[in-house]
Chain A
Amino acid sequence: GQNIDQPTEMTATEGAIVQINCTYQTSGFNGLFWYQQHAGEAPTFLSYNVLDGLEEKGRFSSFLSRSKGYSYLLLKELQMKDSASYLCAVAPNDYKLSFGAGTTVTVRA
């Protein structure tokens, strides 16, 4: 099976930076995704990494190290609307997608 680990909860202050770590052990690797899910809503795509390094997209950045089986999602200049669950997902092949349990981020004023 696939094993994807991420912290259950994180709390941060508005305007701060939060880093959500994700470690994985999977049967193969065809890319790592990050999704955002607000309470009661559908997940929405944030980022995709398949090569090592940092991908930056506005206030959000995602990093991947394939040799370490490790990724992180960096959220900068936190806003109240960033309070949500952040889901790390790995594609062990072209067609399957395995998700971690998600990290609930709470942003406080």
Chain B
Amino acid sequence: EAQVTQNPRYLITVTGKKLTVTCSQNMNHEYMSWYRQDPGLGLRQIYYSMNVEVTDKGDVPEGYKVSRKEKRNFPLILESPSPNQTSLYFCASSLSEGLLNTEAFFGQGTRLTVV
């Protein structure tokens, strides 16, 4: 089954404790992206990757890191999480290198709480 898989689905952590949210897709998609979703603000793009070893900042990259060593995986790293990073996170992938006329497939989301 074609899908984008995120883990974990739920995570409660403490301020400053490094964490990684994994994202994997099995559709051989070139483009992958991370978003956070907050009430009243909608989805905001954190980082995106056009292909292996090619990543760039979205609108809200501060406090996050990503890597794209393999096509299928695009982990999101929070080196020192803070309470303002409490949010619902979505990973998404698209077939082509760019967004032109391509739908994004989203993972099921990771609800992160930083205390």
A94 with B41: in contact, given A42-B108, A42-B109, A45-B104 (CB under 8 Å)?
A: no
State the interface size on chain B (CB cutoff 8 A): 28
Instruction: For A44, give its contact among B35, B43, B58, B106 (CB under 8 Å).
Output: B106
How many angstroms from the CA of A97 to the CA of B34 in the assembled complex? Answer: 11
Q: Give A102's nearest chain B residue, CB to CB.
A: B42
Interface size class of A (residues with CB under 8 A): 20 to 34
Q: In the assembled complex, which residues on chain B have CB atoms less than 8 Å from the CB atom of A50?
A: 100-101
Q: Tell which of B11-19, B44-52, B68-76 binds the partner.
A: B44-52
Q: Are B90 and A43 in touch, CB under 8 angstroms?
A: yes
Q: Are A95 and B108 in touch, CB under 8 angstroms?
A: no
CB of B115 closer than 8 Å to a CB of A: no
Question: How far in angstroms is the closest Cβ of chain A from B22?
Answer: 16
Q: Give B4's nearest chain A residue, CB to CB.
A: A42
Give residues of chain B (56-115) contacting chain A, Cβ–Cβ below 8 Å: 56, 58-59, 90, 97-109
Q: Are B90 and A101 in touch, CB under 8 angstroms?
A: no
